[in-house]
Structure 1
Amino acid sequence: MVVEANCEIPENLYYYIDGKNTVWVKIEGSDIAVVGITDLAQTMAGKIVKIRIKKKGIKVERGRPVATLESGKWAGPVPAPVSGEVVDSNSEVEKSPVILNRDPYGQGWIAKIKISNQEEVKQLLTGQQAIQKLKEIITSEKLTCKRLQ
């Protein structure tokens, strides 16, 4: 785990980074992408008060929303890091969205997507490349991450 400005960056995950939108991905088996928002994203959003996640069976395209978040100061999409079909969504975060602020890499997972194009996984950032890009966002946004209790 790399920590920069109190922002946790797990080294064992893949990352989809589009501007300030930062999403993590964990591959389960060979074709399931577990998706969530990063520590940076939850900090930038502030206290998340609502999340709408695409329902099971819905097809999503890379870069298009798999969910929509709302906080007191921000509303916007959670982009799908890969194309595929939503096979599961986290009903717990829909009931209690603040979980995303408290545990973005654990209980705060958002959706599971059955990957339809494995080539897209190769386009996700990992390791030092991901860490460097996330550090650049932390610096440019002057972020110090904090988790809500």
Structure 2
Amino acid sequence: MVVESNCEIPENLFYYIEGKNTVWAKLEGDLLIVGITDIAQTMAGKVVRVRIKKKGTKVEKGKPIATMESGKWAGPVPAPVSGEIVESNAEVEKNPILVNQDPYGKGWIVKMKPNNMEDVKQLYSGNAAVSKLKELIASEKLSCKRL
């Protein structure tokens, strides 16, 4: 785990990084568990609502798997790869603050089955992910905090 300005960056995850949108993905068998990064939850502020696409929904890479609202932000959570949502985290819909409190654990958003496992290899990982996320932290002058 790399910690930069209080922001946690687990090195064992894959990352979709598009502008300020940062999403993590963890391979579990042939499924990806997807959530937002510590950086994203800090930038969003206290999340008050999460609406997740339903199980069985097919999504293209970069298109929303969920929408989130906080006091200062509302927007999409992008899919890191194209695929199908096989499970959504009902706990996060009931208790959105989980995204802020435990973004890499209980705050996961969906489990999805990628159309093509090769797409996962296109995501940022390891040192490349860490340096890209450190750049974002520096450019936004962020210091992460959990609620």
The alignment status of 1:85 with 2:74, answered yes or no, reads: no
Cα distance in 1 for partners of 2:57, 2:129 equals: 28
- Which residue type is aligned with residue 6 of structure 1? N
Aligned residues: 147
- Which residue type is aligned with residue 109 of structure 1? W
Please report how far the alpha carbon of residue 122 of structure 1 lies from its aligned counterpart in structure 2 after TM superposition: 1.3
Please report how far the alpha carbon of residue 100 of structure 1 lies from its aligned counterpart in structure 2 after TM superposition: 0.3
Map 1:60-139 → 2, pairs under 5 A: 60-139=59-138
- Which residue type is aligned with residue 19 of structure 1? G
SS class of match (2:138): helix
Please report how far the alpha carbon of residue 118 of structure 1 lies from its aligned counterpart in structure 2 after TM superposition: 1.8
The alignment status of 1:34 with 2:33, answered yes or no, reads: yes
Q: Which runs of 4+ in 1 moved over 3 A?
A: none
The alignment status of 1:2 with 2:35, answered yes or no, reads: no
Task: Indicate the residue corresponding to 1:15 in structure 2.
Answer: 15
- Which residue type is aligned with residue 64 of structure 2? P
Cα distance in 2 for partners of 1:141, 1:55 equals: 33
SS class of match (1:114): strand
Please report how far the alpha carbon of residue 58 of structure 1 lies from its aligned counterpart in structure 2 after TM superposition: 0.6
Report the TM-score, using the length of structure 2 for normalisation.
0.99
SS class of match (2:124): coil
Cα distance in 2 for partners of 1:63, 1:118 equals: 16
Cα distance in 2 for partners of 1:117, 1:64 equals: 16
Please report how far the alpha carbon of residue 102 of structure 1 lies from its aligned counterpart in structure 2 after TM superposition: 0.2
Listed as ranges, the gaps of 5+ residues in structure 2 are none
Please report how far the alpha carbon of residue 119 of structure 1 lies from its aligned counterpart in structure 2 after TM superposition: 2.3
Cα distance in 1 for partners of 2:113, 2:24 equals: 15
RMSD: 0.5
Report the TM-score, using the length of structure 1 for normalisation.
0.98
Listed as ranges, the gaps of 5+ residues in structure 1 are none
